[in-house]
Amino acid sequence: MPTERFTIATFNLRNLNEPGLAMYGRDGWSQEEYDRKIAFTSTMMAMLPADIWAFQELWHGASLDRALATAGLANDYVTLVPEDHAGGRIVCAAAIRREMLVGEPEWIRDFPEGLVLASGGDDPQTERIAVELSSFSRPVLHFQMRPSGWAAPIHVYVCHFKSKGPTQIFREPWYERDEHSRHSEAIGGALSTIRRTAEATALRYMLTDQMKGNDTPVIVLGDVNDGTLSNTMNILTGQPRFLVGEGRGGGDTDLYTAQTLQEYRSTRDVYYTHIFNNNFKSLDQILVSRELYDNRRNRVWAFDGLDIANDHLHYDPKHAQGTSDHGVVRVAFKYDPA
């Protein structure tokens, strides 16, 4: 039966693949490593239950099925995984309660046809720039779900943008060790940033077309590999105003971060999902449209709390126990039209 409350979570699986299958040109997980990953994944799903799970870094559909079965969830959920997804590439995936799924999922590989990332410069001192990218490095998963019989279906987009890690350039035909090796980190970081920015722009382009001039509820979640106030997130969210009062809140195509909605309800910001070089970062985001934003007068759903599981980032920093290198974020909403 439809519910008047639902929970949705994002979970980077850290290369969940069947044992023995190569990844990134290197040997894959041993059987023992694989068993530990399945144990951790299923434990997280059982400990922090959600009606909808959004996954990143899934290599093999059978591994996700095994994790759900180990958690005792296989009968209640349907997995959204591309057909014949058998260890050759990374995708975004999902698991959703069977009664909530509406229609069929799609994986969006190509950027929108109308998107052009080029400019001749907007002042005399700015030379031409052009970005030739035309596809997501990790296809975006899009599906619809209906958590309540009294509300319209919600469009869900699961994304995984390019990481902050510098792109490796030593294989490029233009690379010269004597010239470029000392600058490889800066060049590689710039290339990763450009790719991540382009991916955020492409998804924003699609979201604007989806949301403009209507009341279509949307949730975007996943590993955006950037913080709440980053340029990546600014593009994706539209930089909405939050504290503007119930009567005026809710931009037509803006997205609101669950992190900020949770901060309204606490006295400290303790949200982090990743640790690198002792820097605590929030790379995993859950964003919602105005139909799920508290301060909009005619909202449909209201934010009902955020939970995050990130202790494993400390007790298993080298992930020897099969843990993920990201925290798991879960958000709850209740059916509460204002």
Give the model's confidence band at 268: pLDDT under 50 very low, under 70 low, under 90 confident, else very high. low
- The two structure tokens encoding residue 259: 């992190």
Residue at 211 is within a domain = no
pLDDT band at 248 (very low <50, low <70, confident <90, very high): low
Closest CA to 201 of 264, 118, 128: 118
**Is residue 261 a part of any domain in this protein?**
yes
Q: Is residue 18 part of a domain?
A: yes
Least confident residue range of 213-217, 251-255, 270-274: 270-274
Query: Confidence class of residue 269 from pLDDT cuts 50, 70 and 90?
Result: low
User: What is the band of 121 on the pLDDT scale with cuts at 50, 70, 90?
Assistant: confident
Nearest alpha carbon to residue 279 among 226, 221, 203, 210: 226
Number of residues that make up the chain: 338
Over the Cα atoms of the chain, what is R_g?
20
Lowest mean pLDDT among 132-146, 211-225, 257-271, 292-306: 257-271
What is the CATH classification number for the domain harbouring 96?
A: 3.60.10.10
H helix intervals, the chain: 31-47, 61-70, 177-180, 184-211, 231-237, 258-263, 312-315
Prediction pTM value: 0.93
If one counts the domains in the chain, the total is: 1
CB 295 within 8 A of CB 258: no
Q: Which of 176-190, 241-255, 261-275 has the lowest mean pLDDT?
A: 241-255
Q: Is 122 a residue whose pLDDT tops 90?
A: no
Domain extent, residue 274, equals: 5-110+138-166+217-335
Nearest Cα residue to 229 out of 221, 217, 237: 237
When mean pLDDT is compared across 30-44, 68-82, 141-155, the lowest value belongs to 141-155
**Is residue 148 in some structural domain?**
yes
Q: How confident is the model at residue 285 (pLDDT cuts 50, 70, 90)?
A: very high
Q: 174-202, pLDDT tens digit by residue?
A: 988 888 999 999 999 999 999 999 999 99
Residue 148, pLDDT > 70, answer: yes
Any domain includes 171: no
* Contact in structure between 147 and 100 (CB atoms under 8 Å): yes
Give a yes or no: residue 257 inside a domain: yes
Mean pLDDT taken over the chain: 91
**Given this model, what pLDDT does residue 286 score?**
96
